[in-house]
A and B are shown apart, each in its own frame.
Chain A
Amino acid sequence: EPEVTQTPSHQVTQMGQEVILRCVPISNHLYFYWYRQILGQKVEFLVSFYNNEISEKSEIFDDQFSVERPDGSNFTLKIRSTKLEDSAMYFCASILRQVPNEQFFGPGTRLTVL
């Protein structure tokens, strides 16, 4: 069964460093999302992406964040200068078409900012 994959599973970085989190969505999917979950908190929407552009972004998704689909298979989230409060699980999700119940989530990347 096709699945969304994410790498790395765990990323440790120093405050102020740049990180890139990678996702490989399901191959024929067209719509892509990033969510994050701070420990003990809700899963929160960060950004949605379709047709090589951002569809919507949350207040969390400030200028330190960017997304890219560099090669037609990967979908990346970059944090330019990490802060301690960026420590969280980051989940990528994808859907084939605009049907709300078909978002498939990856296993997540645990980001730890020291």
Chain B
Amino acid sequence: GQQVKQSSPSLTVQEGGISILNCDYENDMFDYFAWYKKYPDNSPTLLISVRSNVDKREDGRLTVFLNKSGKHFSLHITASQPEDTAVYLCAAGQGGSAKLIFGEGTKLTVSS
């Protein structure tokens, strides 16, 4: 089954609003959670990540929230801009290895 799941294939947000992207996972052993941004024909670019010993991490307009008991993490983008339009992939991993399991992606469109 899908170990990491993004249930919303797409999301549209007005410019200036908050974009909230969600990700659910199954494996209790995951201890690393990341969000990547992907443009068409490009490889994923790491936006922000968090380890399992914290439940929140902020970086500028980006905040990751981790809910370990609910096996859920989310990415909040405040003051969304048209340049934020892209596919966002969540990923989870464990044990410091390069093995990441990706969600299927959510296409975010920020309309002006």
Verify that A and B bind, or say they do not.
no
Which residues of B line the A interface, CB within 8 A? Answer: none
Which residues of A line the B interface, CB within 8 A? Answer: none
